[in-house]
Structure 1
Amino acid sequence: MQFKNANKKSISNRIINIAIIAVSIGITIIIIAISTGKGLQEKIKSKTVAFNGHISVMPFENNESQISVLPFEDDLNLRKIIKKNNAVNIINSVAFDGVILKKENDFEGGIFKGVDSNYNWKVIKEFLIEGNYPEINKKSISKEIILSKIMAKRLSLELGDNVDLYFQNSKNQKIPYKSRFKIVGLFNSGFPDIDNNLIYGDIDQIRRVNKWEKNKTGSYEIFIDNIYNSDKISKKIYNDLPSNLDSISISKKYKSTFQWIALFDFNILIILIIVIIVSVVNLSTAILILIFERSKMISLLKTMGLKNNKIKKIFLWSGLLIISRGLLIGNFFGLLFFFIQKKYALIKLDPETYFVEVAPVIISLSEILFTNILFIIVCTFLLWIPLNIILKISPSKSLRFR
């Protein structure tokens, strides 16, 4: 008899331990999914914004083109109109033109991004890996450029080398305009579209090639305080702009990219649902085992007049104890992963697919608390189902289980 009781206790302990492990693994997976999913979202957004701004203002004709087809006047009054939105921090004047880079017999196509002497280089500071920024002033046209490490490698170029650029102006001139530039800096964004194309240089170079006046520009790059307000601020700016200019937010400009990273939230939700289902199944099994083992106690409590709801609460507390232990262990390992990945960057990613070389991790205390509370509430609610089934058994039937 003692052997049977010990054997039953051993089985129930194993089932409870399995339930605790299931909960701990589940919450660990959720923390990893949230931290990597949010990390990827924020990193991709920040990279996109760094090279494009939160909002672009340009003539409508430039919307569907990678180059600045039509210029507009870089007017102080226009800047004041845009600046009246308190969320606006930076306005960069830029222009784009298609170029071909040539070194001996090697060619490479690219997009020349012209910036002026007031350009705020801080926005791409974290991506500059070698050298410095081009020296641009109003007195003369700068012959310095920066380009990506990838583009330089393809043309066997290094920092300090000279390279010929061939410009094709917007009027489709037959003979491209050729100019020689010195490479003073190399950057690496991790974005193939940027690293394979973008070259930074003096906007006056584009003005000269396209015969623009000195006060003309291709577009404004506008940086605001919060990317999540970009759509709203873009609409406000658009309402105040002259009829020939459009305002487009970064989420609209790179719609497919933002739609893709929005799917990360859906993936996290699916993982959360699967983890909760698995955890509830294991918890329910553990609770059922406990109820069967204590069927004599349940019968005794019922005969003493204790209501079903109170008996259910006894086993519900047992379930909550299992959940709490699992959450404690799971949070520990989830946060351990977070700090290790944050410091040592052990998990690598394919930049061609994910636009980053290392899996970034971001998670807030509020997200951890919300996840834990949601987990407890959902699991507790679903545990009432097995409790209701078992507690319908009459005292006489419960005694037969012994």
Structure 2
Amino acid sequence: MKLELFIVNKIKSGGISGKRLAGPVVKVAVAGITLGMVVMIISMATGLGFKKEIREKIIGFGSHIQVVSYDFNLSFETNPIEQDSLLEEKLKEVPEIKHLQRFATKPGLIKTRDEMQGVVLRGVGPEFEWSFFRSIIEQGDTLTLSEDRASNDILISDDIAGMLNLNVGDKVPMYFFEDQIRARNFTVKGIFNSHLPEFDETFIIVDLRQVQRLNNWEYNQISGYELLTGSFEGITETGMQVSRIVAGHISPDGTMLRTKTIKQSQPQIFGWLDMLDMNIVVIIFLIVLVAGFNMITGLLILILERTNMIGILKALGITDWSLRKVFLTLASNIALKGLFWGNLLGLGFCWAQFWFRFLKLNPDNYFLDTVPIHLSLIHFLLLNAGAVIAIFFMMLGPSYLAARISPVKAIRFE
């Protein structure tokens, strides 16, 4: 057994005199690192989970990338483009594109006996990806669509249903304003709730054919294509690839096309979400700082308590580096024990919250009804590696101080 490790084991077991403070100091240091690690894991998991949940909700209403007319019309009363099977095939060949679907929009007005509400019909086809809406449906079911006949069913949000006192199965009169007022009756097939008022109070999901008829479009005219990718992180690069394909393509009717990513469509929301990264970094930095100072204080107390031992060891010829290694090893044992329990408790809490969702939120303030959890392996490993490196470098100072102690003064120290 190496000399440094032998001395460390003796200090930990109390085999070397001066145990009056060692036990409580070690326990406090371990508890501090444990608590700090728990807070860091929970902070990162909830911060990343919040970003992921909000991001998926926004993408559920607008997809990752849209291909639309080049007219820069920012309203929901869009100019049509023609469906193009050649363009669709080219877009599907982009590696990151996992799904392609058509869409069309039409502003309108819902009016019941006592209330009215301005809305936007979002027409979707049989190929529409329903996974997001299935996850937020509270009553009823998603639409059943086919290419053979148009459906009169619609999906409305819980906010609209509450404002207009509507339930599943109710008939809904809607009015559309052009050269003359046009009226249509729809049937509520399902009620969803994303907890995002900006979208819930605006969009109604309807059959694409209904929007085409209301816009006086041909069967092959749409507002554009929506593209779903395999990864949000690469959305900018994928958007550039799609843009290059679209830039060199002209629709059969001569219309030029452009692309826009969800980040470009909703810059204010994604700018707000990006600020969460800075909040997480600041929290983790402060916690590491506090845990590090806690370790420094504990190690200084241990050094002060072992001053006589340090003097005797130096008088016997131990090198400064070996002496530093004693206290660095002792600090490492304390840190590893704290990291172990911190990881165990932090991951245990995240696991319990992920499956049982016992911590609730007010969706009016947080847009979610439970505290979200998301933590990937890479984030977990980076967090632990960062904590180990930070604590190690903060331990170098106290260990250097121990090596600078004079043997004569240390032996006489009481």
Q: TM-score scaled to structure 2, two decimals?
A: 0.89
> Among 53, 56, 64, which residue is 1:54 paired with?
64
Task: Give the superposition deviation at 1:139.
Answer: 4.1
Instruction: Give yes or no for the alignment of 1:361 onto 2:373.
Output: yes
Q: Note the aligned Cα RMSD (angstroms).
A: 2.0
The number of residues matched between the two structures is 392
* Secondary structure at the counterpart of residue 189 of structure 2: strand
Matched, 1:126 2:135: yes
Instruction: Tell me by how many angstroms 1:344 deviates.
Output: 1.8
Specify every segment of 5 or more residues in structure 1 that has no aligned partner in the other structure, as ranges.
1-5
Name the counterpart of 2:206: 201
Q: Deviations over 1:344-366 (max 9, x none)?
A: 21222232343211111111333
- 2:124 is aligned with 1:115: yes
Q: Structure 1 vs Structure 2: percent identity of aligned residues?
A: 28
Distance 1:168 1:75 in 2: 29
Aligned to 1:33: 43
Distance 1:68 1:91 in 2: 22
Corresponding residue number in structure 2 for 1:180: 185
Partner SS, residue 361 of structure 1: coil
- On the 8 A contact 1:141/1:204 being kept in 2, the answer is yes
- AA aligned to 1:193 is E
SS at the partner of 1:190? coil
Partner of 1:376: 388
Distance 1:142 1:153 in 2: 24
Q: Normalising by structure 1, what TM-score?
A: 0.92
Measured against aligned partners, the alpha-carbon deviations of 1:79-127 in whole angstroms (never above 9, x if no partner) come to: 1221221322221111111111111121011111012233333342212
**Bigger Cα displacement from structure 2, 342-351 vs 273-282:** 342-351
SS of structure 2 residue aligned to 1:227? coil
Q: Which runs of 4+ in 1 moved over 6 A?
A: none
2:82 matched residue in structure 1: 73
How far apart are the structure 1 equivalents of 2:73 and 2:286?
43
1:229 aligned to which of 227, 234, 240: 234
**Residue from 274, 281, 287 that aligns with 2:286:** 274
Equivalence for 2:253: none
Match of 1:250 in 2: 262
Letter in 1 for 2:42: I
Aligned partners of 2:139 and 2:168 also within 8 Å: yes
Q: Determine whether 1:167 maps to 2:204.
A: no
Q: Distance in 2 between matches of 1:396 and 1:71?
A: 90
Aligned equivalent of 2:327: 315
Matching residue within 34, 53, 63 for 1:43 = 53
Deviations 1:37-65 (A, max 9, x none): 11111111222222211111101335522
Shift of 1:384: 0.8
The Cα shift of 1:294 comes to 1.3
Shift of 1:23: 0.5
CA deviations on 1:195-230 (whole Å, 9 max, x unpaired) are: 111101122222222222221100111112222222
- By how many angstroms is 1:258 displaced? 1.7
**1:340 corresponds to 2:346:** no
1:203 to 1:217, Cα distance in 2 relative to 1, 3 A: same
- Which residue matches 2:316? 304
In 2, Cα distance between the equivalents of 1:358 and 1:339? 14
**Distance (whole Å) between structure 2 residues aligned to residue 63 and residue 257 of structure 1:** 21
Out of 16, 19, 30, which is 2:26 matched to?
16
For residues 273 and 201 of structure 1, what CA distance do their matches in structure 2 show? 48
Give the match for residue 96 of structure 1.
105
Distance, in Å, in 2 between the alignment partners of 1:69 and 1:130 is: 31
**Corresponding residue of 1:394:** 406
Task: Name the SS for the 2:79 alignment partner.
Answer: coil
Counterparts in 2 of 1:148 and 1:120: CA distance versus 1, 3 Å:
same
Residue 7 of structure 1 and its aligned partner are, at CA, apart by: 12
Structure 1 residues 369 and 81: alpha-carbon distance in aligned structure 2, compared to 1, 3 A threshold = closer
Deviation string, structure 1 residues 7-47 (Cα, Å, up to 9, x no partner): 96343322222211110100000110111111111111222
- Contact kept in structure 1, 2:50 and 2:372, CA below 8 Å: yes
Match of 2:3 in 1: none
Mapped contact 1:308–1:391 kept (Cα < 8 A)? yes
CA–CA separation in structure 1 for the residues paired with 2:126 and 2:375: 38
DSSP 3-state at the match of 1:89: strand
- Ranges in structure 2 where 5+ consecutive residues have no aligned partner: 1-15, 251-255
One-letter code aligned to 1:126: S
Q: Does 1:285 align with 2:297?
A: yes
User: Are residue 331 (structure 1) and residue 343 (structure 2) matched?
Assistant: yes
Give the secondary-structure state (helix, strand or coil) at the position aligned to 2:233.
Answer: helix
